[in-house]
Amino acid sequence: MPSETPTVEKADSVRADSVRPVYRVVGTRPIRPDGVDKVTGRAIFGADVRLSGLLHGRVLRSPHAHARIKSIDTRAAEALPGVKAVITGQDFPDPQNKAATSGEGTVNLRSLAHNCIARDKVLYFGHAVAAVAAATPNIAEEAIKLIKVDYEVLPHVLDVCEAMRPDAPLLHEDLRTNEMGQRAGAPSNVANHTRHERGNVDQAFAEAAVVVEREFRTSMVHQGYIEPQNGTALWNADGQISVWCSTQAPFDERNQIAEIVGAPVSKIKVTPTEIGGGFGGKLSVFLEPLAAMLSKKAGHRPVKMVMNRAEVLAATAPTSGSCIRVKMGADQNGRIVAAQAWMAYEAGAFPGSPVDAGAGVIFAPYRIPNVLIDAYDVVVNKPRAGAYRAPGGTNAAFASESVIDELAEKLGIDPLEFRILNGAREGDRRADGPVYKRIGFIETAQAAKAHPHYQAPLAPSRLDPEGKNPAIKRGRGVAAGFWFNWGGKSSAWASLNPDGTVSLVEGSPDIGGSRASIAMQLAESLGVRAEDVKPAVVDTDSVGYNDATGGSRVTFGTGWVAYRLGEKLKQQLKERAALLWDVAPDQVHAEAGVFSSNGHSITLKELAARLDETGGPIVASDSFQSDEYGPGFGVHIVDLEVDTETGKVQILRYTAAQDVGCAIHPSYVEGQLQGGVAQGIGWALNEEFVYDAEGHLLNASFLDYRIPTALDLPMIDTVLVEVPNPGHPYGVRGVGETPIVPPAGAVANAISRAIGVRMTALPMSPARILEALGQVRGAER
Amino acid sequence: MAKVWIPALLRGMAGGQSEIELPGETVRALIDQLEARYPGIRERLIEDDRLRPNIAVVVDGTRSRQGLRQPVGEHSEVHFVPAISGG
């Protein structure tokens, strides 16, 4: 289908500005440039990489949650025919204890290096201890079984609250709690403490008409991407290192590999292959430095490493389990007067949980005069926690949105009306300090309230369509969510082809349809069709620096660059037209791909065909960073039913409304909302890491770690609310993270209204539902 | 004068104040002013002549990438917040 169709206002789209700009490309739904290759299997993913002389690598992983490595004997493995190299932590330099960019934040390079391969201690079940490169995957697999590791098993700690106790086993003897630049005297598993405080919460609670206080627990969960981590590396004899891998952050990974293997960054080229899902889990390296070092040690032959599912679950970067206590109070008019949160997040084996982001999210949708938030980053004997879509936000909103719902219930106010009454507007101060610029929370909540879903009675039961089974209870819940979004640095270049098309070279891996959304912004600004822009994502030697594809930044940040490229190409074309007509360039007018001046007129395609006679090729490059990214808000509605005999929860109807700024390609924006909701529902109802008493992961497969399938979910309705971000030429706001924030809270609130019990732990599995019901029934007896 | 919000964990060094108005045209100048009033506060915010890696500065609602060099207006509002990351 051609994209040159006028923008069509859909029924599920709400535009906040009174006069929508007229766009030719933005807001349409062209076919994605990478679509055919992906549906026909031609797209090259990491596991598809083939190189001459390729070896295959495997990793030996720790069977213990916490142990000291006394010795490693690799002689038997090295002697196995077909084995070309064996490495341990001793083969790597020890990076400095310093921070480097990773996504929006930073990562400690020493921690990252020690996570890739253990040095003196293993810190979680699955921690890498040694690696082998061999002629075949089977030989490599056999070889790692021949490596003998002598461990001194140490006491371990898995629970965040237990890890905070003074007598808890210490993961890092040199770790001291950091409180805004001040280190505590004694070692601790608490890596960091942050506080936000405004007003006087004690006084406000004392004067409040209603106060609700609860403690919540959430389990460690995984992003659940389909494509496992992988990495192929060639450490050439001339010192050049080439890496092919599935990554959201090729430039960050280039820096990380350089530090971990001890090579200059200029010697490393990272080629991002297609990516089968990341969601924050592919922002840092796991296998890539091991593959590089194996390649060097194996005589400069390329080495490919691909994780299996058990390794992905046990030893990559799931997101934190947490313990959160929330207390909120409101006056008799329904105004929230105070909010307090105590938040402790599991960081896994190394500091760096997303608790600070959670602290920013937890009360963000609301105007609250008195706030106190304490946030703790705590190491435990689990895999190092990573980002997962709005990292830290889902845990936080599960807690705060449950308490807000209970406040509304106690006050007898409609839960959406309560949120609108207390909702943050432009000029309000966020709970963690800064003042909001133009935001769309109120418009989003109002759109949700006006939606046919909220106006309709509860959706019909699937298990009990005639309503005769008293064991089937139905309920409706709502919840709100927030994410900061991000701008970051982007670079790209574009060249005009003689047929009037444009080749766009970018460095942002496409994890959510961004090839399309970036190309469309260039097409809009230049005045060509979306199909006339051919985007390519290239390696780190072939384009300028790009920050990670993460933080919901690419359609905003790289989109800004695409817009500027279009303007730069257009200016050069004006100069060429001016030459043809012997006029000044500023006398040439460009509109929708047609250049005109004083009665002359020429199309872009005609002008492109005359490049040689007007000065030769037209190329533009750009690097740009805007800090004016607008935050996003979402409001979700869910209808569900609970089988009180089995504890099973069935989602009946789900609607997600979100302020998306401007939907460049509405289909992909809707897909982002639907994907976030699907993952959020899995987190709410089923997903959790299950460890035994010894710290062994028990459910390291997709049979036992249960992510939702199409059979578990209804069609998820979306409402795209467009409150344009004044910091972007088309009003774009990031959209990928906000939609995972509200689902757990919305589902919890619906379950509460269905069965009359507040659920305070994730996942709200059948066992937990039955346990909660049992407590109520026991109390009734 | 710019309004500087003192991070909650540093208010003990500032006599319990949560905000203070200070002269200065950059974030660095404001921190120098803070240090002059509350000795020791600079090293809680700065390491190796840069903002500490886990701290970001927000000026007038926008997180700055210029750190200590970030210009500050006469009526600006300045917050020091944790540096957060997304997925």
Instruction: Encode pLDDT of A305-328 as tens digits.
Output: 999 999 999 999 999 999 999 999
- Look at residue B26 and tell me whether its pLDDT is greater than 90: yes
pLDDT exceeds cutoff 80 at A659: yes
Cα(A10)–Cα(A632) distance, integer angstroms? 21
pLDDT in tens, A739-761: 999 999 999 999 999 999 999 99
Flag whether residue B64 sits within 8 Å of chain A, measured between CB atoms: yes
Q: Which range has the worst mean pLDDT, A340-349, A400-409, A651-660, B42-51?
A: B42-51
pLDDT at A5: 33
* Under 8 Å between Cβ of A29 and A667: yes
Whether omega for the bond prior to residue A739 falls within 30 degrees of 0, making it cis, is: no
B51 → chain A, closest CA residue: A181
Measured between CA atoms, how close is A760 to chain B, in angstroms?
A: 25
The CA-atom distances, in angstroms, between B6 and each of A237, B51, B70, B75 are 54, 15, 17, 16
A281 contact B CB<8A: yes
Which of A10, A49, A5 has its CA nearest to residue A539? Answer: A49
For A142, other C-beta atoms within 10 Å of its C-beta total: 17
Q: What is the pLDDT of residue A298?
A: 98
Residues of chain B in contact with residue A364, where contact means CB-CB under 8 angstroms, are: none
**Nearest Cα residue to A737 out of A519, A610, A552:** A552
Task: Note the pLDDT of residue B86.
Answer: 61
Nearest residue, CB atoms, A390 vs list B47, B55, B86:
B86
Q: Is B82 on the interface with A (CB under 8 A)?
A: yes
pLDDT in tens, A167-180: 999 999 999 999 99
In chain A, residues 154-193 whose CB comes closer than 8 Å to chain B? 178-182, 192-193
SS3 assignment for A481-550: EEECCCCCEEEEEEEECCCCCEEEEECCCCCCCHHHHHHHHHHHHHCCCHHHEEEEECCCCCCCCCCCCC
3-state secondary structure of A37: helix
Percentage, residues of chain A above pLDDT 70: 96
Which DSSP category does A139 fall into? H
For residues A92-113, average pLDDT: 78
Place B85 in a pLDDT band, splitting at 50, 70 and 90: low
Closest-CA residue to A407 (of A210, A231, A236): A210
Mutation site for B-interface testing, chosen from A111, A180, A247 by largest number of B Cβ within 10 Å: A180
Interface membership of A429 toward B (CB under 8 Å):
no
Q: What are the tens digits of pLDDT across the range A257-292?
A: 999 999 999 999 999 999 999 999 999 999 999 999
Q: What is the pLDDT of residue A8?
A: 36
Residue A302 DSSP code = -
pLDDT digits (tens, 9 = 90+) for A13-42: 676 665 678 999 999 999 999 999 999 999
- How far is Cα A231 from Cα A257, in angstroms, rounded to an integer? 12
The confidence score (pLDDT) of residue A432 equals 87
Residue A463: the pLDDT is: 87
Q: If we measure between CA atoms, which residue out of A648, A589, A630 comes closest to residue A724?
A: A630
Closest CA to A25 of A512, A523, A514, A563: A523
Query: With b meaning 16 or more CB within 10 Å and e meaning fewer, what string describes A319-336?
Result: bbbbbbbbbbbbeeebbb
Instruction: Give the separation between CA A160 and CA A375, rounded to whole angstroms.
Output: 12
Arithmetic mean of pLDDT over chain A:
95
Looking up tokens 């005639």 gives: A466
- Nearest by CB to residue A435, choosing from B7, B9, B61, is B61
Tell me what ipTM this predicted complex has: 0.94
Q: Give A551's contacts in chain B (Cβ within 8 Å).
A: 85-87
Measured between beta carbons, the chain B residues lying within 8 angstroms of A434 are: 58, 61, 77, 79, 81
Task: Say which residue, A377 or A107, is predicted with more confidence.
Answer: A377
Q: CB-based contact (8 Å) between A106 and chain B?
A: yes
**Structure-block tokens of residue A425:** 């507007």
pLDDT band at A2 (very low <50, low <70, confident <90, very high): very low
Task: Indicate whether A519 pLDDT > 50.
Answer: yes
Banded pLDDT at A467 (limits 50, 70, 90): confident
pTM confidence score: 0.95
The answer to whether residue A509 scores a pLDDT higher than 90 is yes
CB contact under 8 Å between A387 and B85, yes or no, is yes
What is the model's pLDDT at position A779? 61
Contacts of A340 (CB under 8 A, 6+ apart): A201, A205, A326, A327, A328, A371, A372, A373
Whether the CB-CB separation of A84 and A58 falls below 8 Å is answered with: no
**Shortest distance, CA B6 to any CA of chain A (angstroms):** 10
For residue A111, is pLDDT > 50? Answer: yes
Give the nearest partner residue to A434 out of B61, B85, B86, using CB atoms: B61
Q: How far is A580 from chain B (nearest CA, A)?
A: 44
Q: Can you give the pLDDT at residue A4? A: 34
What's the distance, Cα to Cα, between the start and end of chain B in Å? 37
Interchain pair B85, A391: CB under 8 A: yes
